[in-house]
Amino acid sequence: MTNKTKDSITQDQCHLYCQILGDTDKPALLLVHGFLSSNLQWELNKDALLKHFRLFMVELWGHGKSPVPPNDKDYSISRYVEELETIRKRYDIKQWGLIGQSYGAALVMHYARSKPKYCTGLVVTNSQSAFSPPGAIKPDTKYVDAIRQHGVKAIPIHPSYSKSLPDALKQKMITLADNVSIDAVIRGLSLLPELSVYNYLEALPSTLVVNGTREKSFQPILKAAQTHWKDLKAKNLDGGHAVNINCAHGFNKAAITFFTEKLGKNDRC
């Protein structure tokens, strides 16, 4: 087992790591990656985005440089929303655009429904946990024993199993995934059944799903969500679950166009 458990910390030291890049006079974008990933998720996107925006890239609890909270209750939607709002206030951001990948998509959508006046819009990728109806994602403890015995490679979404990541980036992502705290993984998985935003879709700011069509299991979920919320937009790309990596150019173009058009209409960020 190669996974390492991060040192425990006190509650007052416990804040999500946020990497900030770009010019202070440019509009702000918040980016949150998915499970078993890190800010490397945006490696093929950040240069294009930085030409237009200032980036605030946040890492999940126990992932990358973020700490492992001392309490189970920290692995909650409300705590993630609180942490993201703390970052917004710290840097005096009046409004920002939100980008989320997979698990991170669900978190930024919950933030947006809680703090809509601070959000210009959302760009998210395939996220079954976010777009499935409440109750569709069941509590699942089958991986807990396997994770404790074999480490995070026991989870099928570990980047080592990906067939579409560029080799150089894949090796870096594997290294970082192997160092995600086991406690953070188990506690983070327990939040999955609560991540649905299905009942809140119509309350969200303008949202674009950059849809990796090769993830077949997500397509009926997205279609049902679009039926539920007629204003939900989608940009289909020939990629998989990590569509922002598989189809980086298309993702970058879609995100830049979406947010620049929003800024042109609102001029408030």
The tens digit of pLDDT for each residue in 249-260 reads: 999 999 999 999
Question: What pLDDT, on the 0 to 100 scale, is given for residue 118?
Answer: 98
Q: Give the neighbor-by-neighbor strand order of the sheet with 54-58.
A: 18-21, 54-58, 28-32, 96-100, 119-125, 207-212, 233-237
Q: Give the orientation angle of helix 103-114 with respect to helix 77-90, to 10 degrees.
A: 70
Q: Where are the domains of the chain?
A: 11-266
Predicted model pTM: 0.93
Segments of the chain with pLDDT less than 70: 1-13, 265-269
Q: Which residues pair with 98 in a beta bridge?
A: 30, 122
Is it true that domain 11-266 has CATH number 3.30.9.10? no
